[in-house]
Amino acid sequence: MLNLAISEALGEEIRALVSRHPDRLSMETIKTQNKGYSAEISVVTYSHSRREIDNHSKFRILLSFGQHGRELITSELALRLLSILSEEQQIPNMGPLSLNNTLEKLVIKVVPMENLNGRKLVEAGDLCERRNGRGVDLNRNWSVDWGKKEKDYDPYEENPGTAPFSEPETQMMRKLSTSFDPHVWINVHSGMEALFMPYDHRNTTPDGLVSHVMKSLLEDLNDLHCQGRCLVGSGGGSVGYLAHGTATDYMYEVAKVPMTFTFEIYGDTDASSKDCFKMFNPTDIMTFNRVLNDWCGAFFTIFNTAKHRLDGINSKASDDKLGKWESIDEYLEGYLMERSSRYGKRTEVLELGLQEIRTYFRLFLLSSVLLMFMFCSRISKSKYTTIRPIVSAVSL
């Protein structure tokens, strides 16, 4: 059986990798506690040139691994991805030059092991443990549709906690997502092979162009890197059950991250339900390397194309607005709905209103000038018509 690195050894490898590449990688550890329960997460930030400090001028991607303790392979994927980003390893058929061209406009934050306490329980022998150190499933502890229980609800598997964000781990991840404000969020799991988009708590996908673009991207990833094996669609509509209070639904619905995904990178459907290690993790080196290479390739396809796809959405939205007359009340109402849901920035509506007033004032001035010009032209023409017969009556 393949022995995956224990959490301490994996953490040491990541810290050593960061220390070897301070020009591109940095690392911080965030700690917090709740009612005597302490937790921590490490966050590795990649930027092609750390001298360019303004992360918000770049395209931002947030990746979370190891949310469930038993899914050890996901944190191994995080380490492999960071090794490729630092150019210590390569994806087959992808050279350093293409990597540099792809990455120079990105900032990527990686959480290699979101559920460290749960991972330690697995390493202590509870190989089926997915929850955190006090028995809460971190992927049921977010606020969207929190606490709803289906008929097949299993409290051991899906305990949502006492309230949304009751757990230090989800509190830290929410704070990280708010401060970083990503364009892309990916939550990485194992147990099957799938590429999911919202929603987890419904059996449908969102409406609109962004949803179509997300679905198209996932279908491309399935063809290129999953050889058509992966399920593609909403989590709630594809996996066979609804999940309430998930991170991906929160990122899409509340944090308004434009592109939000859940990746399921490996699953052994032939494994016994009692053999959780084999169900969720590869057990031979060949499969281990294939999984890591395939999914690193999928990540780099996203790095290559996500910004372009979102830019295409913004461009189409701009074209649509140009081709459609809209009243100021309609415009302000739509803007208010869009902005008030994102960090409560309602004061921007006042600024927008002033801009609209200035625009209408300029249009008023322009129309006044045109009317004056037309009026003067009409007077001039009238005078010319009156004088002309008199002049023509004069004998030559």
230: nearest Cα among 243, 215, 244: 215
Confirm if 250 and 244 have CB atoms less than 8 A apart: no
Show which residues are catalytic. 264
Query: Which amino acid makes up residue 307?
Result: K
Q: From the CB of residue 270, how many other CB atoms can be counted at a distance below 10 Å?
A: 7
Rounded to an integer, what distance in angstroms lies between the CA atom of residue 41 and that of residue 32?
9
> Cα(309)–Cα(311) distance, rounded to whole angstroms?
5
Contacts of 312 (CB under 8 A, 6+ apart): 213
State how far the alpha carbon of 45 is from the alpha carbons of 54, 71, 302, in Å.
13, 22, 17
- Distance separating alpha carbons of residues 181 and 169, to the nearest angstrom: 18
